[in-house]
Amino acid sequence: MSLEELYPEIRDAHVYSKHRKYSNALQVYVDILNDINQDSEEYCSVLLEYAQCLLESIMVQSELNYLKILQTRSQIDEEAIEEDLENCWESLEICRISFTDLNKRDKLCEVHKGLGDVLCLKNQFEEGKREYLSALDFADDDETCIEILECVADCCRSLKKYDDCVGFYRQIKDVYARMNMKEMEEEYDILIDETIRAEAANKQESKKAKMDKDDATKEPINVNHLKK
């Protein structure tokens, strides 16, 4: 049975989430979780949805905070977001342990994807990349593979590892080729070209920065002996 069949009220949470009324949605999940045996598979399935809803709300709030910073040029207290990220991480870890014991591949894919999202929101892109790659190990369909590969490529781009980024873009292009989606193949050809140019620009910038640093640390030339 689906969660909606087991817990009809969960439909309300889905509707609230769709309309970005995350506080209402999260409260519905909490009410359901309080009535379920914590050792059951159903508990972790609902907990996973709760964590995903919380994560989505964090992403939306982070975007709003960023726009506010740009507009006001002032800092924003993000303590609430940090607490939500910690809550989200702890919930996903509970799910990871449970679904590992149950060998639920589809759920483990979602859990590791969520863990990667949390890490990336904390700017821990290397660690986030590892979680996404773990999620990829459990991905059993092309659409999910593409979604996760895009996340991995974004991590590489944030880390300025453009060679790796191009490699993952090519994997995505190969999946689209397998799906016979020519338009998306062409779109990723463009992305690959743009990334290669970004890599070249980054190398040039790094080379210039190194040269400037070397120039700054050079001993000044003594020209006293040239004076008459």
Single pTM value for the model: 0.87
Hey, where are the domains in the chain?
1-140, 149-214
Report the 3 state secondary structure along the chain. Answer: CCHHHHCCCHHHHHHHHHCCCHHHHHHHHHHHHCCCCCCCHHHHHHHHHHHHHHHHHHHHHHHHHHHHHHHHCCCCCCHHHHHHHHHHHHHHHHHHHHHHHHCCHHHHHHHHHHHHHHHHHCCCHHHHHHHHHHHHHCCCCHHHHHHHHHHHHHHHHHCCCHHHHHHHHHHHHHHHHHCCCHHHHHHHHHHHHHHHHHHHHHHHHHHHHHHHHHHHHCCCCCCHHHCC
Tell me the pLDDT of the chain (228 aa) as tens digits: 899 999 999 999 999 999 999 999 999 999 999 999 999 999 999 999 999 999 999 999 998 888 888 888 777 778 889 999 999 999 999 999 999 999 999 999 999 999 999 999 999 999 999 999 999 999 999 999 999 999 999 999 999 999 999 999 999 999 999 999 999 999 999 999 999 998 898 888 777 767 766 666 666 555 454 444
- The highest-level CATH class for domain 1-140 is mainly alpha
